[in-house]
């Protein structure tokens, strides 16, 4: 207030305010100036003495130019689905989004087909026809954590595949996948059967109006194999770790797109051959004094050979390498009373965990894949189709006991697990249908889906 007093003293009012007009004008102007100065002084005093009511304001760090958030310092258990990958893209960078990490969200619209509208479902995966009573497993879709994934558009896909050949190479999971794709595409046009082998394991189809050829090639090891009967466990599988299976390599030049994968067959008892010499085995239990090298040895050898072949610069096919598929057997395995009777997906934060075999196989897959794609001069048309995480979260999507029609007919107590369960393959329709959403995104919407 001392400032106000000084200001008021500096203004001298002279003469009678009711005197001459000139004096009145002077008095009026001085009065206006006086009040203006008082206002300015008051503003100065208040501003100088008032504290802002907003406290503890923190300055945000500058944005990361890479578009990626930092890697978490404390990592989850290696078996946890939370730890499938550790790099999490920021939500505002869709081009860097990892479409393979996310959750299953409710989708009341349901599947694109039914077991009635599609005639290509194998009996073992036709869960509804075989009497599965619940249908909730059909009402979920895959949602990546940090971006939107376009729904599979069968008309757009089949048009893009005009005059092309897409081949699936692998085991029965590959056959499961191709049947899912055919069921979706058959809503656009019915497919023609062109070829099948004696056991109906390898097949070729064609969509006539589009001249689009689709095939599945049965090659569970991807390598050259011979099978011989024995008196102990029924068969000996001879696996040549330095020779690819000509069943698919001889046709490879015809393919425009390839989805290729290894898998559970490497866990079987196998005898290894390299340079026409027996070098070891997996699970041979001391037979003929062979060296136990293990399934990880043969799996790495097989993937290295396969990836080197498809990466050759003269090979035109765009290749998607699909990762391992975890099973969901509980309280045993397929031959020891294991079952899968869950009716809801897992979430990232609860009990879903990969088995140690699946973790080890997937580690090898990623190591060999990135080793191939980072080699100088290698074919750039190799992409990763990482379905492991999304599959891990769907214990409810398997046939379970409903691989057979009415499996509990005549069974008094269902708790006794007297019926063999399938907890590896997928019901059709079912969660495997969403693999096609990822497949088309990697195959057609991006040159390459790579996490770096």
Taking the C-alpha atoms of residue 362 and residue 439, their distance in angstroms, rounded to an integer, is 18
The DSSP result for 71-122, as a single string, is: PPSSPPPTTSGGGS-S--B-TT-GGG--TTSEEEEE-TT--S--TTT-S---
Angle between helices 21-49 and 2-9 (to 10 degrees): 160
What is the distance, to the nearest Å, from the Cα of residue 126 to the centroid of all Cα atoms in its chain?
A: 24
Residue scoring higher pLDDT (426 or 86): 426
- pLDDT attached to residue 208: 98
pLDDT, greater one: 85 or 143: 143
What pLDDT was estimated at residue 11? Answer: 36
Please tell me the predicted confidence (pLDDT) of residue 244: 98
Query: Tokens at residue 174, please?
Result: 């590959």
327 carries an active-site annotation: no
For residue 376, what pLDDT is reported? 66
- What confidence tens digit (pLDDT) does each residue in 60-102 have? 233 333 222 222 222 333 333 333 332 233 333 345 689 999 9
Mean pLDDT of 198-212: 97
Q: Which residue has the higher pLDDT, 430 or 352?
A: 430
Q: CA 350 to CA 16: how far, in whole Å?
A: 90
In this structure, of 87-101, 136-150, 218-232, 416-430, the range with the lowest mean pLDDT score is: 87-101
| 0.85 exceeded by pTM | no
Annotated active-site residue 425? The verdict is: yes
Of 49, 48, 99, nearest in space to 438 by CA: 99
pLDDT-based confidence at 230, cuts 50/70/90?
low
Q: In the beta sheet, which residues pair with residue 216?
A: 168, 203
Is 196 one of the annotated active-site residues of the chain?
A: no
pLDDT in tens, 8-31: 344 333 333 333 344 444 444 455
Q: Which of 108, 272, 120 is nearest to 183 (CA)?
A: 120
* Residue 29: C-alpha distances to residues 5, 14, 110, 197, 316 (Å): 19, 12, 81, 108, 91
Which position among 177, 318, 398, 425 bears the catalytic label?
Answer: 425
Residue 374 has pLDDT above 50, yes or no: yes
Report how far residue 385's alpha carbon sits from residue 259's, in angstroms, rounded to the nearest whole number: 8
Residue in 172, 174, 219, 391 annotated catalytic: 172
Q: Which of 245, 327, 358, 422 is catalytic?
A: 422
């Amino acid at each position: 207030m001392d400032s106000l007093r000084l200001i008021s003293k500096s203004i001298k009012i002279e003469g009678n305010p009711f005197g001459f007009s000139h004096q009145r004008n002077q008095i009026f102007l001085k009065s206006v100036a006086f009040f203006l100065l008082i206002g300015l002084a008051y503003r100065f005093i208040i501003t100088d003495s008032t504290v802002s009511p907003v406290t503890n304001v923190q300055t945000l760090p500058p944005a990361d130019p890479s578009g990626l958030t930092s890697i978490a310092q404390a990592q989850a258990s290696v078996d946890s689905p939370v730890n499938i990958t550790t790099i999490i893209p920021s939500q505002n960078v869709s081009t860097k989004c990892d479409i393979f990490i996310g959750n299953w969200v409710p989708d009341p619209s349901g599947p694109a087909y039914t077991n009635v509208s599609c005639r290509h479902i194998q009996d073992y995966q036709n869960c509804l026809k075989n009497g599965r009573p619940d249908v909730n497993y059909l009402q979920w879709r895959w949602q990546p954590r940090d971006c939107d994934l376009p729904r599979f558009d069968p008309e757009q896909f089949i048009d893009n595949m005009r005059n092309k050949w897409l081949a699936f190479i692998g085991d029965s999971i590959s056959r499961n996948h191709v049947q899912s794709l055919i069921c979706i595409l058959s809503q656009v046009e019915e497919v023609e059967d062109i070829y099948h082998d004696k056991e109906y394991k390898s097949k070729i189809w064609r969509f006539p109006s589009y001249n689009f050829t689709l095939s599945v090639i049965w090659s569970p090891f991807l390598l050259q194999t011979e099978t011989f009967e024995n008196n102990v466990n029924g068969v000996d599988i001879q696996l040549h770790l330095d020779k690819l299976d000509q069943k698919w390599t001889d046709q490879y030049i015809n393919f425009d797109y390839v989805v290729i994968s290894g898998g559970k067959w490497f866990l079987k008892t196998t005898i290894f051959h390299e340079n026409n010499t027996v070098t070891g085995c997996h699970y041979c239990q001391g037979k003929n004094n062979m060296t136990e090298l293990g399934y990880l040895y043969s799996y790495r050898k097989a993937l290295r050979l396969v990836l080197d072949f498809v990466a050759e610069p003269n090979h035109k096919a765009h290749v998607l390498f699909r990762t391992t598929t975890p099973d969901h057997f509980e309280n045993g395995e397929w031959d020891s009373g294991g079952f899968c009777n869950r009716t809801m997906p897992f979430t990232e934060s609860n009990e879903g965990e990969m088995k140690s075999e699946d973790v080890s196989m997937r580690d090898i897959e990623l190591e060999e894949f990135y080793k191939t794609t980072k080699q100088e001069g290698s074919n750039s048309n190799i992409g990763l189709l990482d379905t492991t995480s999304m599959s891990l979260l769907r214990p409810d999507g398997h046939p379970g006991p409903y691989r057979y029609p009415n499996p509990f007919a005549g069974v008094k107590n269902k708790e006794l697990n007297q019926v063999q369960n399938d907890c590896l393959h997928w019901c059709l329709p079912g969660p495997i249908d969403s693999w096609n959403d990822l497949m088309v995104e990697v195959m057609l919407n991006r040159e390459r889906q790579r996490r770096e």
